[in-house]
Chain A
Amino acid sequence: MLAAMLLGRLCKGRLPIPFLKAAINGAIFLLLFLLGVAIGGNDNLINQLPTLGWDALLLTIFCLAGSIFASVLISRFFKSR
């Protein structure tokens, strides 16, 4: 990534930025598609999904809520920016 940053810096003004943004969007779609393929192709995971999935979902929701709460608490220190 650092190498790409350097390359981008060197080619500054000669790279089509809208094209790059579109390519990034495409790459995000590709990555999520492949993540789906990895999960769908794992039989074990799909079979256990109903039983373990709920526990996992509940845990995730609480962890995310805690993270959001904590980050809202600290965000006051960044307001001055």
Chain B
Amino acid sequence: MRSSLFILGFFVLGIFLARFNLLPDALLEHDPTLPALWLLMGLIGLLLGAEGKLTEILRTVRPKIALLPIATTVGTFAGAIIASFFLVWNIADCLAVGSGFAYYSLSSVFITKYKGADLGTIALISNILRELFTLLFTPLVVKYFGPIAAISCGGASTMDTTLPIISKYAGAAWVLPAITHAIVLDFSVPFWVAIFCSL
């Protein structure tokens, strides 16, 4: 939990520094998140290789891993449908936002294009929040609901941004299921978003 608060602190610091123009403009013009992500992926790769956990990970590949993305999809859609009863947006709108599965860049661009900027912004915020929740609360989710719940919360982000946190708290054995889960969801995002936007 302490490291989660630490991470949140860095996030809030970033917002405030950018808000009050305390950063060099170059940082905003050239989005540096992607290189930072590569750095992170490279370091995780190095660690996995150096610890010799590759064989352990590969041994855990089982067909039932396919249950993970199915559970995430069904659970997310059920949640989005229930949420639509409390919001001005209809069921298809809510499902479109939910089917971003934390893949905020793609889903918000899609939804902005087909449903307008308001729902697009909701999609952006909602899916960023999903990723943020996973980054911050994975230790707690693993503790109370288990590693699968943490992977499910991460949606399509469990092969990049939230992978380190999942590998740290759920254990290295869950790295490959997390990646498989994210790849399946990743491919399904444009498909679902397009379907729900055309309803």
A residues near B, CB below 8 A? Answer: 1-13, 15, 17, 20-21, 23-25, 27-41, 44-46, 48-49, 52-53, 55-75, 77-78, 81
Contacts and interface: CB of A to CB of B under 8 A. Distances in A.
A65 B7 contact: no
A45 B152 CA distance: 27
B193 interface: no
Main secondary structure of the interface of A (DSSP, over half): helix
A21 B173 CA distance: 17
Given A17-B51, A60-B129, A68-B149, 14 more contacts: A4-B42, A4-B44, A11-B49, A13-B50, A28-B165, A29-B7, A33-B11, A33-B13, A36-B16, A45-B125, A55-B122, A61-B79, A67-B155, A74-B71
B50 to A, nearest CB: 4
B145 A71 contact: yes
A29 B145 contact: no
Contacts of B126: 55-57, 59-60, 63
B18 A64 contact: no
Contact of B49 (A9, A35, A48): A9
A8 B46 contact: yes
12 contacts: A9-B50, A33-B10, A33-B13, A34-B14, A35-B128, A36-B15, A64-B130, A67-B79, A68-B149, A70-B152, A74-B68, A75-B146
